[in-house]
Structure formats: structure tokens, C-alpha cells
Structure 1
Amino acid sequence: MVKLTARQQQVFDLVRRAIERSGFPPTRAEIAAELGFSSANSAEEHLRALARKGVLELAAGASRGIRIKPEALDDFDSPHQFTLPHPAIQQLSLPLIGRVAAGSPILAQEHVQQHYAVDPSLFSATPDYLLKVRGMSMRDAGILDGDLLAVQRKNEARDGQVVVARLGDEVTVKRLRRHPSGIELVAENPDFPSIMVAAGREDFELEGIAVGLIRSGDF
């Protein structure tokens, strides 16, 4: 078993809890704020130390580009999280949803572009479908244009989870924040506005929660 310092264990546990709670790892700034570091650079140093010890992988250029390595899940008895597909283990067949026509169910046959076979252990919970991401409004959550978002169908979500929501004629991927007056769909890119949804708005519907992410080029 890999031995971690007390501080490294705190960072590892924070990353694990964030993935379990929302489906995505924290940013360096969030780690620093949570653990009282002086700056995001301090968080980065601990993450790099964890990467050198083989329990994390870090993706360059993505603020949430942190992945717990599968062998670390076994070592530390952590819950499963998403990873990249392994070609030798493909068991779960998921429909890939492309553009969604206004007013029609998201899993309607005409929206299904194809099916992908993937390992179900890649995800924090069992997904019902893959949604092709369009645009860069969730860039700082590590969700990029063309990515395949693994989605579990739900009509409720916890505060802070990344969700797929229908608003009028549009289906969008955003982080959900609850307010006394309604719901905020938060973009994770300062170039894009967040969306406020008043309580009781009839053209709003939650389609599901994100439980994992696959780069489309990884198939």
C-alpha cells in the first residue's frame, strides 16, 4: 500500500469526496480554500506529490484535470470514479444522444446516434446514456466540446452537481446551485453567463446528473 503524509491523505480524501458528491474533482483553488493553503500553487504541489506516488493522474491545462488511479481505489477503499475506457473490458451498452429536438424525450430513438460499449465500473453511478457536449461553457469543470458526458436519468439533484437540464427548447449542461428564489444553472467558464430559473417555471425540467466523462477520441 502507498504511504501518504497526513496532508497528502487530506488532499486525496478531498478529491475522492468531491468526485463522490458531484461526479467531478475539485479545482486547485477549491482544494486550497478547503484545506487552508496559502495559494492554489500549494495545492498543486501536493497534487504533484500524489501523482509521483502513483495515486493520481493530472491532465495538463484543465482546472479539474485530476483522476484517481484505479489501483489507488483498491489501496484506499475509495468509491469507484470514472476513468478512460479499457478496450478489454466493455460490458455496458449506452446510447449516444446527439441533438435533442424541442419537446421530445431525450432518449427518443431519433436522438440516438449510435451505441457505445463501456465498462460500467468507469462511472461513479450507472449511467443511462451518453450526451455529446456542445460548446465550452463547462470548460473549467474539464468538460469540453465534443466530450461524451455519462448521464444518469434523475429528476432531482443535489446542490453542486453537474446536471443535464431542459430549459424551453434547449438542453444544457451546467452545475446546479439552489437559491431561495429558484435554481441557478452555473457555467464553468467566465465567458458564458449562468442561468437563473425561477421556482415553478414550467418549461424547466431536470433530465439527469453527470456521473462520468469520456473524451470522444478515447474510443
Structure 2
Amino acid sequence: MIKLTARQEQILNLIKDAIENTGFPPTRAEIANELGFKSANAAEEHLQALARKGAIEISPGTSRGIRLIGAAASASAAEPALPKVPAALLMSLPLIGRVAAGSPILAQENLEASYNVDPALFSGKPDFLLKVRGWSMRDAGIMDGDLLAVKKIDSAKNGQIVVARIGDEVTVKRYKKTGTLIELLPENPDFKVITVTPEDEFVLEGLAVGLMRSWH
């Protein structure tokens, strides 16, 4: 049993809630803001303490590189399915590669393969895997070539990471809606915010509910 201070327990619960609600852990700045710390450094000190106690694993170089491990691990800590999971409990998910212009995301021509995975690995039951292309979500820990587990939806909450289609382009971004204005926010300062105008053909294709490192 991991012995945590009250503050460490609070931060661990905040991480769990963020993963459950958005599919991804919070940044240091978000933790500091939520708990009233004066700086992100205070959050970092608590995260390092949690890492030393074996409750989390920190990946350097990304602002959301936090993973629950051990007894603290939750369904959102997505890793490739392990062989010991009984085959009867696995679900088959189609892998979507490059999406053909004008075709539904699950159209036959977009399917590259299928994977048998343990649904307990994700914060929600996914409908498909999407191969991530590019580095616009790097600081959320989503890298080029990763497999994003996606649940089909038709609406999203601010802050959630979504798969959206604008015209013939499919993109992974953080969702923000203010009034009638929709913005798709990257997690990499090298990329620009995408503003969806009323003239754009816009569709929410799904909600990110977990991530699997691509095997290559």
C-alpha cells in the first residue's frame, strides 16, 4: 500500500479525474491552477514525490507526460494488450489510416488493419483506432505514428481531445467552444489554432479515450 500525504492524494485524484474526463493527464500549470499553487514548480515537486513513491511515472519532455502505475493505475493508462488477457474479453478495433477525401471515417477504404485489445485499457469504450499523423499534439504525449483510441460522439466538452473533420481533412485537437465559435487547439506551439467558421463543413468524428504506442 502506497502511503501518501493528503496533498499527494489530492493531486493523484486530480490526475485520475483529468484522465477520466478528457482521456489525458493535466499539465503542471493546470494542477497548480486547480490547487491554488503559486507556480507550476510546486506541482512538479509533488509529482516527483508521487513518482518516487511509485504512484506515477513521469515522461520527460512533454507537459502531459504523466502515467498512473501500480495500485494507482486506472483504465486510461493505455498500453498494448497483454497476452494474459483471455481472448474472449478482447475487442476487435479497426485501425483507420489516411482518410480518403469525402468518405466516412469508418469506410472500408480507410481501414488498414484491426487489433484485438483489452477494452479495460481505456477511459471509455472505443469504436476505432486512428493512426496519428504529425506532431501537433506532441505536448499532450500524442506522437506521430501513435494509435489513438477513439469513441464516436456527436458533441464534446471544452478541453477534451477530439477527432474532427473539416471539409476533407481529419485532425486531432483539443476542443474549445465559446458561444458559436469553435476552436481546435494544438498542443505544440509550432502549430496554429484552427478556427471553425460557419461556412466550414465540420463534423466531430470522435473523442480520444486512450493511446497506444505504435509498434514499429
Scaled by the length of structure 2, what TM-score is found? 0.93
Judging changes above 3 Å, is the alpha-carbon distance between structure 1 residues 96 and 38 closer, same or farther for their aligned structure 2 residues?
Answer: same
For the Cα contact (< 8 Å) 2:54–2:70, is it kept in 1? no
| Counterpart for residue 141 of structure 1 | 140
| CA distance in 2 between partners of 1:141 and 1:67 (Å) | 12
| CA distance in 1 between partners of 2:200 and 2:58 (Å) | 41
Q: 3-state SS of the aligned residue for 2:9?
A: helix
Q: Deviations over 1:52-84 (max 9, x none)?
A: 2111111122211111125224xxxxx621321
Structure 1, 54-63 or 95-104: larger mean CA deviation: 54-63
**What letter is aligned with 1:128?**
D
| Counterpart for residue 13 of structure 1 | 13
Q: Percent identity at matched positions?
A: 62
| Counterpart for residue 76 of structure 1 | none
| CA distance in 2 between partners of 1:205 and 1:82 (Å) | 28
**What letter is aligned with 1:154?**
I
For the Cα contact (< 8 Å) 1:92–1:119, is it kept in 2? yes
Does residue 82 (structure 1) correspond to residue 77 (structure 2)? The answer is yes
- 1:92 deviation in Å? 1.7
For the Cα contact (< 8 Å) 2:80–2:213, is it kept in 1? no
Query: After the TM superposition, which residues 1-219 of structure 1 pair with which residues of structure 2 at under 5 Å, given as runs?
Result: 1-73=1-73, 80-88=75-83, 89=85, 91-198=90-197, 200-201=198-199, 203-217=201-215
Q: 3-state SS of the aligned residue for 1:41?
A: helix
| CA distance in 2 between partners of 1:188 and 1:83 (Å) | 19
| CA distance in 1 between partners of 2:180 and 2:72 (Å) | 42
For the Cα contact (< 8 Å) 1:148–1:213, is it kept in 2? yes
| CA distance in 1 between partners of 2:48 and 2:117 (Å) | 29
For the Cα contact (< 8 Å) 1:82–1:121, is it kept in 2? no
Q: 3-state SS of the aligned residue for 2:46?
A: helix
**What letter is aligned with 1:45?**
E
| CA distance in 1 between partners of 2:113 and 2:81 (Å) | 19
| CA distance in 1 between partners of 2:200 and 2:134 (Å) | 25
- 1:203 deviation in Å? 0.7
Compute the RMSD of aligned alpha carbons.
1.6
For the Cα contact (< 8 Å) 2:166–2:200, is it kept in 1? no
Structure 1, 148-157 or 87-96: larger mean CA deviation: 87-96
**What letter is aligned with 2:139?**
D
For the Cα contact (< 8 Å) 2:182–2:196, is it kept in 1? yes
| CA distance in 2 between partners of 1:124 and 1:15 (Å) | 13
Q: 3-state SS of the aligned residue for 2:196?
A: strand
| CA distance in 2 between partners of 1:60 and 1:202 (Å) | 38
Which 5+ residue runs of structure 1 have no aligned equivalent? 74-78
**What letter is aligned with 1:21?**
N
Scaled by the length of structure 1, what TM-score is found? 0.91
For the Cα contact (< 8 Å) 1:83–1:123, is it kept in 2? yes
Show structure 1 runs of 4+ deviating over 4 A.
none
| CA distance in 1 between partners of 2:68 and 2:28 (Å) | 15
For the Cα contact (< 8 Å) 1:175–1:186, is it kept in 2? yes
Q: Deviations over 1:178-205 (max 9, x none)?
A: 111321111111111111113x445100
